Amino acid sequence: MITIQRALISVSDKTGLVPLAQTLHEFGCEIISTGGTGKVLQDNGIPITEIQSVTGNPEAFGGRMKTISFVIESALLFDREKDQAEARTLNIQPIDMVVCNLYPFKNVLESGADLETLIENIDIGGPTMVRAAAKNFKYVAVVTDTADYDRIIAELQANQGALSLETRRRLMRKAFNHTADYDAMIATAMDALDGEQSLRLAFIGGKTLRYGENSHQTAMYYREKEAGANSLYDMNVQHGKELSFNNILDIYGAIESVRRLKDSGCAVIKHTNPCGLCEGTEGVDQRTIFEAAWAGDPVSAFGSIIAFNRPVERNTVEFLALDAEDKSQRKFVEVLIAPKFSAESLEYLQLHKNLRVIEYDTSSAMCPKDLRYLNGSLLVQDSDTELYSKLEPVTDIKADVERLHGLLEFGLKAISSIKSNSIILAREKEGLYQLLGMGAGQPNRLISTKLAIEKSRETLSHEYTGDPDQLEAYIKEEIGKAILVSDAFFPFPDNVELAASQGVKIISQPGGSLRDDLVLAACNRLGVAMIFTGLRHFKH
Amino acid sequence: MITIQRALISVSDKTGLVPLAQTLHEFGCEIISTGGTGKVLQDNGIPITEIQSVTGNPEAFGGRMKTISFVIESALLFDREKDQAEARTLNIQPIDMVVCNLYPFKNVLESGADLETLIENIDIGGPTMVRAAAKNFKYVAVVTDTADYDRIIAELQANQGALSLETRRRLMRKAFNHTADYDAMIATAMDALDGEQSLRLAFIGGKTLRYGENSHQTAMYYREKEAGANSLYDMNVQHGKELSFNNILDIYGAIESVRRLKDSGCAVIKHTNPCGLCEGTEGVDQRTIFEAAWAGDPVSAFGSIIAFNRPVERNTVEFLALDAEDKSQRKFVEVLIAPKFSAESLEYLQLHKNLRVIEYDTSSAMCPKDLRYLNGSLLVQDSDTELYSKLEPVTDIKADVERLHGLLEFGLKAISSIKSNSIILAREKEGLYQLLGMGAGQPNRLISTKLAIEKSRETLSHEYTGDPDQLEAYIKEEIGKAILVSDAFFPFPDNVELAASQGVKIISQPGGSLRDDLVLAACNRLGVAMIFTGLRHFKH
């Protein structure tokens, strides 16, 4: 423990300053202070020693020189054991604490200030004393964050004005992180002013995962330091086994898949793609939505990751039949995500020991940026948030874009969540928008179309309970009411020909191919209504 | 221009010190210096002013205090216009240049030093004078990198001992980047010592791309500051249109696909997956390898990205038939990558104005780490570099692992490059290892198997020139000689059953499913030889 007998306080942000200084004062600590800070303290009846009387120097050059001096930095830096005699000879008296926050470069930067103003707001004396105090944390405490004041006050009060080594060490780490962030901001801003684009990212709270994408790869998971409240890292694990690397990847995919659905929705994720997705218009209960999402690919849904964008009640998750006596009826999934799980739903889900249950506010904003690290380089783009630039019927048969509007939006949200080349079929039925089938990640779009149609046929066969002889007619009828959505344009008419042969009547695609005329001619020949959306949705 | 009349030199790394100081001296510059630096200069006949005589303070506390003082920082910081009178009153004489490199914290860190040693190597005075000089770059030059000395010397010599504002501004940016890097390193190291894992990444040289993954997304491309010589950013664009976001993603996929091939290889990439891949054993010419890779999916190969791991000659790329009179014979690809293109090959490729031609050393080491940014969080893993932990024949029919060794390695390299769930068929024929067909990115492994077999059948049909009645027999025979490789284990025997029904005789998979016994029983029943590799290769 070090009793704080002498503190140097020089802060730009005066929040919480008085109670902290008051506490120090009550324990007999001498407070050395600079101009503005000193004035606030004196106005509040706290006696101070003016820094000039310690340094022997005036505040000079428009405030550029306040604290930097042989006396102050020596008082912070000297080794209280080895250097004691030398300090006495040089008449250096120790300073045991620095309280300092730096000139608000960030605010000035965000205000769009010019170079001269920015430069004037680069703090030199602050980082010097912060870094000096941090280096000598064995004897000195350095406080750089107003959010720490309460804790410091409590510790001072509990220890007659002293702080522990543990606290000083924690504060030291915070201090170096603070000066690192500060200079990162300055460096990036100065580069940008000269047209040099640089980027500095800081990540904290690294957790070691059991392993990476595969068991022979080690892995860590970090929080982005400057991330807002919707950082994926902050998801709240309510139950279940430790999250794996692949869980986290899939959870991200799951959240992105339901985040943009306006009404209550559910996504079933496998290998980051939604293989089931459903949105219910108002009045449809969540259980029904869950069942319809699951029905999109009930085989792949086993071992999947499921996300909801509305609070979950027990009735919804009872669909998993975790307590079914016949174990083969139990639906095993890896992870469930929702903004909130009711106590009853959580209790039910806990029947499965390993099932991870996660609360995350899926209504929070989409991440504005998308980063891809590629061997010593980084691609940064803003996220794909727009759905379409137009909804233009372009064929002889005009799609009723107004009537289809909800379904089109659903389909475009779905396709934006699926790896390219992607094709989906989606329908509206009984108040539900449902993904009937999807084809993902194919080098050849035609295969994606084939996959999406095959999957849709399976989904429809599975739900059909009527006369087997009428099954094919049913499938064709349902496919005829659905829309086929393509993430990118069709380079040739072959996709249209395949889709039409399987009963597809409405197709949405960005348009813009050199051969749009051939594609449209095929649509007109085959009685297909096509809509151009103007926006591609590649995702890799 | 500012003439450097007074310079403060205090460097840890003495490289290049003498010629720089000599130049300054020749132009009549006074050199203020600290202990070690001063000694080197004096030994080389360059007169110095000892820092103590300027500061009026001794070097103190085991070297912790050398330069920090009211005099030095004032001399660096005061405004040469506004503050001139004040400086005169305070007897502060300007210092026009700081040459400083910081204590080598990085070296000490990498040597595995303990906390005390690390702390002792945190430079306080250095960053203070560097930052002070940088802040006042309007009048002061700050040199922090020995690599800049030659350029500085040349500029001093060209300008009678003066440096331009442009140079000082560039040096200022470098200085703030240097202190940002320095404190980032300290912060991360101090965190790590306390078990707090933090990570700071710096990226430079940001280039604005035309757009992101889609035209409504803006995008930038950066170099990782600390990346080694194999940064993807440093690829050398020899010809063609500006690279797009998707090009860069695919180029990465292409390089990773050929990087690990031992012999001459070629990858054909679409949407980041290799849809064609081939490796030739010695003596096989590159053109043949290219043709065999292309044959893996000649439809998808149009508009693809192609990578070679050997220098490319004209004969190889003539396969693209860019000069064919019949335009439909010309093979359009987006990008070609190789360690080197001969002048003749480049001349040929320039026939196509838009085709991007890129030189990159594909033999350089794989990137050790793999980062995934997920909405305010970051997954970091080491790359998937191992292929297998064993090659164990596990069925009644024992695969001849020794004979198959080369093909197995090729197949495992291929599967490691393809998005999960992935299944491939690969064969060895006439000195070539060739990807016959692949199924990628499917939620249900059975669909990947189906896709891989269908594609392989197409490939084989396409190459077959014999009696049409014998085609099916040919396909079965070739598939029987190929291996089917799965990126992960089979949860059920259905994949084996499907594969066997199509003629597959050899399957490689990690093993480790709860139902391995059922899978092996199916193999034994159906005459399939299975090999367990022990390692999964998920990739998302």
CA B168, CA A199: separation in Å to the nearest integer? 22
Amino acid A36 reads G
Q: What are phi and psi of B312, to 5 degrees?
A: -110, 130
Query: What is residue A512's predicted lDDT score, i.e. its pLDDT?
Result: 97
CB spacing of A203 vs B200 below 8 angstroms: yes
Q: Are B72 and B51 in contact (CB under 8 A)?
A: yes
Nearest chain B residue (CA) to A210: B381
Q: Are A180 and B187 in contact (CB under 8 A)?
A: yes
Q: Are B221 and B233 in contact (CB under 8 A)?
A: yes
The tokens describing B36, both together, are 């070690």
What lies within 8 Å, CB to CB, of A108 at 6+ separation is A117, A118, A121
pLDDT means over runs of 10, chain A (540 residues): 97 96 98 95 97 95 96 98 97 98 90 94 97 98 97 98 98 98 97 96 97 98 94 96 97 96 97 97 93 96 97 98 94 97 97 95 90 97 97 98 97 98 97 97 97 98 96 98 98 97 98 97 98 98
CB spacing of A176 vs B183 below 8 angstroms: yes
Query: What is residue A103's predicted lDDT score, i.e. its pLDDT?
Result: 84
CB spacing of A199 vs B222 below 8 angstroms: yes
Which residue matches tokens 């991870």? A356
Provide, as residue numbers in chain A, all residues whose Cβ is less than 8 Å from the Cβ of B207.
197
Domains for chain B: give ranges and CATH numbers: 2-193 (3.40.50.1380), 234-359 (3.40.140.20), 386-532 (3.40.140.20)
DSSP state of B341: B
Alpha helix segments (H runs only) across B430-515: 445-463, 471-481, 494-501
What lies within 8 Å, CB to CB, of A100 at 6+ separation is A8, A9, A10, A11, A126, A129, A130, A142, A143, A144
CA B176, CA A294: separation in Å to the nearest integer? 54
CA A77, CA A97: separation in Å to the nearest integer? 11
Provide, as residue numbers in chain B, all residues whose Cβ is less than 8 Å from the Cβ of A373.
224, 369-373
Alpha carbon distances (Å) from B428 to A111, A246, B157, B405, B439: 64, 33, 65, 11, 19
Classify the phi-psi angles of A375: left when phi > 0, otherwise alpha if psi is within -120 to 50, otherwise beta. left
Length of chain A in terms of residues written = 540
Q: Which of A105, A183, A362 to mutate to test the interface with B (most CBs of B within 10 A)?
A: A183
CA dihedral (A515, A521, A527, A529) in degrees, to 10, reads 50
- Residue ranges with strand state E in A281-431: 305-308, 335-338, 356-359, 369-373, 377-382, 392-393, 423-429
**Nearest CA to A7 among A35, A30, A39?**
A30
Provide, as residue numbers in chain A, all residues whose Cβ is less than 8 Å from the Cβ of B55.
70
Sign of CA dihedral A408, B440, B245, B218: positive
CB atoms within 10 A of CB A185: 17
Classify the phi-psi angles of B360: left when phi > 0, otherwise alpha if psi is within -120 to 50, otherwise beta. beta
Query: What is residue A272's predicted lDDT score, i.e. its pLDDT?
Result: 96
Provide, as residue numbers in chain A, all residues whose Cβ is less than 8 Å from the Cβ of B437.
none
CB spacing of A231 vs B440 below 8 angstroms: no
Which residue matches tokens 């922090």? B144
The alpha carbon of residue A411 and the mean position of all alpha carbons in its chain are separated, in whole angstroms, by: 24
Q: How many A×B Cβ pairs under 8 Å?
A: 456
CA B266, CA B336: separation in Å to the nearest integer? 10
CA B277, CA B414: separation in Å to the nearest integer? 7
Amino acid A382 reads D
CB atoms within 10 A of CB A440: 29
Query: What is residue B103's predicted lDDT score, i.e. its pLDDT?
Result: 84
3-state helix, strand, coil in chain B (%, to 5): 40, 20, 40
Query: What is residue A282's predicted lDDT score, i.e. its pLDDT?
Result: 80
Alpha carbon distances (Å) from A481 to A279, A379, A414: 17, 40, 18
H or E element that contains B357 = strand B356-359
CA A452, CA A449: separation in Å to the nearest integer? 5
The alpha carbon of residue B117 and the mean position of all alpha carbons in its chain are separated, in whole angstroms, by: 33
Q: Helix A17-26 vs helix A35-43: angle between axes, to the nearest 10 degrees?
A: 70
Provide, as residue numbers in chain A, all residues whose Cβ is less than 8 Å from the Cβ of B271.
419-421, 441-443, 540
CB spacing of B231 vs A377 below 8 angstroms: yes
Provide, as residue numbers in chain B, all residues whose Cβ is less than 8 Å from the Cβ of A199.
202-204, 206, 220, 222
CB spacing of B444 vs A299 below 8 angstroms: yes
**Nearest CA to B484 among B519, B513, B514, B518?**
B519
Q: What are phi and psi of B241, to 5 degrees?
A: -65, 160
CB spacing of B213 vs A386 below 8 angstroms: no
Q: Mind listing the pLDDT tens digit for each residue in B375-424?
A: 999 999 999 999 999 999 999 999 999 999 999 999 999 999 999 999 99
CA A191, CA A217: separation in Å to the nearest integer? 36
The tokens describing B258, both together, are 């050929």
Residues of chain B with pLDDT under 70: none
CB spacing of A213 vs B540 below 8 angstroms: yes
The tokens describing B519, both together, are 């899978």
Query: What is residue B283's predicted lDDT score, i.e. its pLDDT?
Result: 86
CA B246, CA A240: separation in Å to the nearest integer? 38
Query: What is residue B229's predicted lDDT score, i.e. its pLDDT?
Result: 87
Question: Chain-wide mean pLDDT for chain B?
Answer: 97
What lies within 8 Å, CB to CB, of A292 at 6+ separation is A266, A276, A278, A280, A432, A434
CB spacing of B371 vs A367 below 8 angstroms: no
The tokens describing B213, both together, are 């993954």
Query: What is residue B391's predicted lDDT score, i.e. its pLDDT?
Result: 98
- Residue ranges with strand state E in A392-431: 392-393, 423-429
**Nearest CA to B523 among B507, B539, B502?**
B507
**Nearest CA to A355 among A335, A337, A339, A329?**
A335
Q: Helix A494-501 vs helix A516-526: angle between axes, to the nearest 10 degrees?
A: 20
Partner residue opposite A270 with nearest CB, options B231, B245, B443: B443
The alpha carbon of residue A102 and the mean position of all alpha carbons in its chain are separated, in whole angstroms, by: 28
CA A277, CA A294: separation in Å to the nearest integer? 8
